[in-house]
Amino acid sequence: MRVMMLAAALLMASPVLAQPAGFAIPSGAYEGDPAHTSVTFKIEHFGLSFYTARFAKVSSKVMLDAARPEASKLEVSIDARSVRTDFPFPEKTDFDKEIGTDPKFLDGNTHPTIGFVSTKVTKTGASTADITGNLTLRGVTKPVVLKAVLNGQVANHPMMKKPVFGISATTVVRRADFGLTAFEGVLGDNVTVLIEAEYGKTAG
């Protein structure tokens, strides 16, 4: 019982709330922390498993309206050529380069940037929102919806010494919508994207 009471006290004293009811940090411009940001994706392979990969170079920024989160804006830029597959046989093929640059895949030499710009934010709960925006991939732009969760926030991060908040988000994209039709029957059409990000307030 004493251990449980101590654990509860530590949680109550924590500066980061797991499920915050709205923003209690200042409005303004926030930048994604690349050390605590990840964009991974998974796609069905032969109906047997889901192949997973990630991007190593992601930058993003939020213009936060703390009082009216639905008025906030999000922009994301990803280097398509920074895809990392962790392919276990590099002596056979540079699979990262193939996925990142081959025209039948991400075609990163022609279209190096994968971009997302929000157009609408709709609150769906005390700490959740749908972020609607335009995703540009391989030169094609289509609307997508990110299902986002505000994980936590802190007014003065103990290490960064500024306001910080963190989110998780997911979306599902049909690869055929962006001209990614190679290996139909081998790879599924739906690509699930998983996003984790922390944002720190910029100066000014």
Give the pTM: 0.88
CATH number of the domain where residue 86 is located: 2.40.128.110
Helix (H, G, I), strand (E, B) or coil at 118: strand
- Domain assignment present for 8: no
Give a yes or no: residue 2 inside a domain. no
Does the residue 10 lie in any domain?
A: no
**For residue 7, is it within any domain?**
no
Helix (H, G, I), strand (E, B) or coil at 95: helix
Quick one: what percent of the chain has pLDDT higher than 90?
A: 87
Exposed / middle / buried, residue 8 (Cβ in 10 Å: 0-12, 13-18, 19+): exposed
pLDDT of residue 1: 38
Q: Is residue 5 part of a domain?
A: no
Domain range enclosing 62: 17-201
User: Is 72 a member of any domain?
Assistant: yes
Residue 12 lies in a domain: no
Tens digits of residue pLDDT in 67-92: 999 999 999 999 999 999 999 998 99
Overall domain count for the chain = 1
pLDDT tens column, 11-60: 333 333 344 567 999 999 999 999 999 999 999 999 999 999 999 999 99
Does residue 1 form part of some domain?
Answer: no
